[in-house]
A and B are shown apart, each in its own frame.
Chain A
Amino acid sequence: QQQVKQSPQSLIVQKGGISIINCAYENTAFDYFPWYQQFPGKGPALLIAIRPDVSEKKEGRFTISFNKSAKQFSLHIMDSQPGDSATYFCAASNQFYFGTGTSLTVIP
């Protein structure tokens, strides 16, 4: 049973564009929603995280939007750069449940 559902599986964006990745969860007891970035051959690294008591969190070019009633949250990458090309994972409830990942490619 997939606790966190993530989409799309892959995403291609032009340099300077906006990348949007979506996640949905079922368990209303989850209280922490991090996003991780993973490059080939490396472990995941925390990018940004949010708690359900806020609807949005922004750190530089990265923004999490959180919709508690819909049980959905999304990652927005503004002004996407080729260096952002990586796999992105959403997660829930500390580090216990991860989405299936989104492979982002930013075309120069």
Chain B
Amino acid sequence: DTGVSQNPRHKITKRGQNVTFRCDPISEHNRLYWYRQTLGQGPEFLTYFQNEAQLEKSRLLSDRFSAERPKGSFSTLEIQRTEQGDSAMYLCASSRDRGSGAEAFFGQGTRLTVV
């Protein structure tokens, strides 16, 4: 399967714990995006990378959130000291860099439940 892969698919954690999610983009895509989606809402942009550079970060992303994309390949999203409000689906997408309009392909997401 050459699509965007996200792991784990589901994560249940206790409030206050740290969690890390991984995204493997389509191999030739140099743009990678992270989103958060809650029930009944559209994806909310969190951050995006062009190769290994983090070019934009939403003001919705608190200091407890950090994302990395070492070597411009896979990416990780870490949430520290999780809160119940962090419970959501976390989506990753990747695209080619052809300026605006490059089609983004989404992974199936990681569903986080904070108890």
- Residues of A bordering B, CB below 8 Å: 6, 31-32, 34, 36, 41-46, 49, 51, 89, 91, 93-101
Contacts and interface: CB of A to CB of B under 8 A. Distances in A.
Contact of A94 (B4, B91, B101, B105): B101
B49 interface: no
A71 B79 CA distance: 36
Contacts of A43: 4, 91, 93, 106-109
A6 B42 contact: yes
A51 B101 contact: yes
Contacts, number: 59
Chain B residues touching A, range: 20 to 34
B65 interface: no
A95 B93 contact: yes
B61 interface: no
A13 to B, nearest CB: 20
Contact of A32 (B43, B56, B101, B105): B101
B82 interface: no
Given A34-B103, A46-B104, A93-B100, 5 more contacts: A32-B100, A36-B106, A49-B103, A95-B104, A100-B41
Nearest to A95: B104
A34 B100 CA distance: 11
A106 B82 CA distance: 39
B78 to A, nearest CB: 20
Contacts of A96: 45, 48, 56
Contacts of B91: 43-44
A36 B37 CA distance: 14
A97 B45 contact: yes
B4 to A, nearest CB: 7
27 contacts: A31-B101, A32-B100, A32-B101, A34-B103, A36-B106, A43-B4, A43-B107, A43-B108, A44-B106, A46-B104, A46-B105, A49-B103, A89-B43, A91-B42, A94-B104, A95-B33, A95-B45, A95-B48, A95-B104, A96-B45, A96-B48, A97-B45, A98-B35, A98-B45, A100-B42, A101-B40, A101-B41
